[in-house]
Structure 1
Amino acid sequence: MTEPRIVTLDTIDHGPVTFDCPAWCIGHGWQMGAGIGRNDITHNSVRVKAGVETESHDWLPLLNARVSWAPFVELVPVVTVELDVQGDFPAEDIGRLITGLDTVQRRLAKVAGEAIRLRGEIT
């Protein structure tokens, strides 16, 4: 197991907050200088995506998901999920959408399994 990195972020409610950043976290550059509170500090994993090409859309995004953990608010990592599909589709595209949704199901199950595994590193 990789040793966690030590990160310090300036917060608006607690000043500089120093914490361990787990190896799976992509970093906190997106939170630096953002005027965040301590409870806003969040570890995020890489994003998992799924989508499908249809005849009526070149690329149709269906899913963005990642492991996320706000250590000052949440006891364990959670799975952040964004599902995004809406529209009118020719009947011929429905089979491709179903295939894309099957991919969504497999990827969500994988991310959820990873979040559960990571709980063992925290507790």
Structure 2
Amino acid sequence: MSATRTVTLTTMDHGPVTFECPAWCIGHAWQPDGQIGRNDIAHNSVRVKAGTETDSRDWMHLLEARITWAPFAELVPTVFLRMDVAEQLAAEEIPAFNRGLQTVIRRLDQMATEAIRLRGEVL
């Protein structure tokens, strides 16, 4: 694992836990010190987003994803993804929507490839 920094978080169940962050980790400011368990400590990558424009909307959000790894609970990095679309579209807008879905597929393929590559660093 290629670490760029060492972090210590106080956990509810194991007290102070010191660990190394992989280079792709965005940091741990989002994890409340003293309010999490050791298994909740997680490294997250930057968020990847995908969406599309349609005639009725300037921008339709389709995907948010990131690589994540809880080193005390998971063996390897995984991909977290959130997709939530509930829209009524005109039939003419479906091709634009489908282009957005194709972008989602490409980005998820790229993230999966990167998560698999990162497994080699942690195993």
SS of 2:116's equivalent? helix
Q: Distance in 2 between matches of 1:26 and 1:36?
A: 18
Q: What is the CA–CA distance in structure 2 between the aligned matches of 1:3 and 1:37, rounded to whole Å? A: 22
Q: What is the TM-score normalised by the length of structure 2?
A: 0.95
Query: 2-side partners of 1:86 and 1:57: how far apart?
Result: 13
**Secondary structure class of the residue paired with 2:66:** strand
Equivalence for 2:101:
101
Matching of residues 39-58 of structure 1 within 5 Å: 39-58=39-58
- Aligned-partner residue type, residue 42 of structure 1: A
In structure 2, what is the Cα distance between the partners aligned to 1:85 and 1:5? 38
- SS state at 1:86 partner: coil
Query: Which residue does 1:119 correspond to in 2?
Result: 119
Look up the match of 1:13: 13
| Identity within the alignment, % | 63
Aligned to 2:75: 75
- Structure 2 counterpart SS, 1:121: helix
Name the Cα RMSD after superposition: 1.3
Shift of 1:3: 3.6
Q: Secondary structure in 2 aligned to 1:116?
A: helix
Cα–Cα, structure 1 residues 55 and 114, in superposed 2: closer, same or farther, change >3 Å?
Answer: same
Task: List gaps (5 residues or longer) in structure 2.
Answer: none
Deviation at 1:5, TM superposition (A): 1.2
* Partner amino acid, structure 1, of 2:66: R
- For structure 1, which runs of at least 5 residues remain unmatched after alignment? none
Residue identity opposite 1:118 in structure 2? L
Query: Alignment partner of 2:16: what SS?
Result: strand
Equivalents in 2 of 1:101, 1:34: separation in Å? 40
Length, aligned pairs only: 123
Under a length normalisation based on structure 1, what TM-score does the superposition of the two structures give?
Answer: 0.95
- Residue 8 of structure 2 aligns to which amino acid in structure 1? T
SS in 2 for 1:5: strand
The CA deviation at 1:4 is 3.1
| Aligned-partner Cα distance in 2 for 1:29–1:121 | 24
| Residues 9 and 34, structure 2, Cα contact 8 Å, conserved in 1 | no
